[in-house]
Amino acid sequence: MSIPPLAALRAFEAVARHLSFTRAAQELGMTQAAVSYQIRLLEERLATPLFLRKPRGIALTETGALFARPTVDAFDMLREAYADPSADAVSTLSISTVPTFAGAWLSPRLGKFQMHHPNLAVRLETSDTLVDFGREDITVAIRAGEGDWPGLEAHCLMPIEYTPMISPALAKKLDLRQPADLLKLPLLDRQDPNWAVWMQAAGVEFWETPPKPGLTLSTDLHEARAALEGYGVALLTPRFFRFELATGSLIQPFPLVAPNGRSFWLVYPKGRRNRPAIRKFRAFLLDEIACDPG
């Protein structure tokens, strides 16, 4: 099949990105009727609908979603290629990542990055949900996973690994001689699958379902706070809690640190790979990690 008319693809890309005919028309400087006409031409050419018209908006059909990602990426690359070279003199780098990575590792370093690049405004947003680059004002994201996100460039930053940590006060209540002794204490978020990973590496039989209700918290930062107060054993990443370990406010009772097979990755759409702001941030992150062996 030959490439559809550029005008139809341009309209489809804008509507798919905004999920709105009105906003697409405003962006393209066209009437809503003209945008609808271009979409109809494309749907007739493909012999399938691309959008579901709903009372309160529109949504991509399965076929529409299949075509949307490469189309948005292609227009991103075109915008990048024809961008004004001076446009990056003052711009914004929007970063999305999970709360623990942001609070325990990234945020203390962002000030240094911004000082090195004073013309670049930096905005950090935290969320446990995956960002949709086509619909959200986010430049880059840092995700946990295996690096297999279609349409995205992915740079591995650091492996995700865990070890139990405990407050000195709670440690005094029990002589911890071997990893199995931890089962005599409250395990924070016991149903976290990483507990099974660590226990298996330690040679301990472990059941994820607790015999009685336990404390479940949403992030490692909250679990660390609960552990500091002596409410239980937290499974944490040592790299993120060096200060607490160095000051003795948390204790790592056993040297075993177990990886869970996942890593933190810097990701962004392939069409943005040459943006100066992204290149600067990528180089900064990799340099910081090279100086931070974990």
Give yes or no: residues 75 and 31 share one domain.
yes
CB count in 10 Å sphere of residue 132: 10
Name residue 195's amino acid: W
Q: Please name the helix (run of DSSP H) or strand (run of DSSP E) that holds residue 279, with its range, or none.
A: helix 276-290
Q: Nearest-CA neighbor of 229 among 185, 284, 168?
A: 168
Round to whole Å and give the CA distance between 269 and 71. Answer: 12
Instruction: List, for residues 191-245, the tens digit of each pLDDT value.
Output: 889 999 999 999 998 876 555 566 677 788 899 999 999 999 999 999 999 999 9
Q: Nearest-CA neighbor of 156 among 166, 147, 165?
A: 147
Per-residue pLDDT band for 168 (boundaries 50, 70, 90) equals very high
The confidence score (pLDDT) of residue 89 equals: 47
End-to-end CA distance of the chain: 51
Give yes or no: residues 165 and 255 share one domain.
yes
> Two tokens at 167?
């407050």
Round to whole Å and give the CA distance between 259 and 30. Answer: 53
Structural domain boundaries enclosing 241: 161-259
Give yes or no: residues 76 and 39 share one domain.
yes
CATH number at residue 57: 1.10.10.10
Give yes or no: residues 175 and 140 share one domain.
no
The answer to whether residues 13 and 71 touch, using CB atoms and an 8 Å cutoff, is yes
Give yes or no: residues 231 and 250 share one domain.
yes
**DSSP-derived secondary structure for 77-117:** HHHHHTS-GGGGGSEEEEEEE-HHHIIIIIHHHHHHHHHH-
Highest-confidence segment of 16-25, 110-119, 188-197, 247-256: 247-256
Q: What total of structural domains would you count in the chain?
A: 3
Give yes or no: residues 251 and 278 share one domain.
no
Give yes or no: residues 165 and 155 share one domain.
no
Tokens 């030959």 sit on residue: 2
Summarize the confidence of residues 9-13 as an average pLDDT: 93
Summarize the confidence of residues 80-89 as an average pLDDT: 60
Chain centroid offset of residue 163 CA: 22
Round to whole Å and give the CA distance between 85 and 13. Answer: 24
Between 203 and 76, the higher pLDDT residue:
203
Lowest mean pLDDT among 28-32, 89-93, 183-187, 286-290: 89-93
Instruction: List, for residues 85-114, the tens digit of each pLDDT value.
Output: 555 544 789 999 999 999 999 998 999 999
Summarize the confidence of residues 71-77 as an average pLDDT: 84
Summarize the confidence of residues 2-6 as an average pLDDT: 87
Name residue 280's amino acid: K
The confidence score (pLDDT) of residue 90 equals: 46
Give yes or no: residues 275 and 203 share one domain.
no
Round to whole Å and give the CA distance between 257 and 163. Answer: 5
Give yes or no: residues 169 and 244 share one domain.
yes
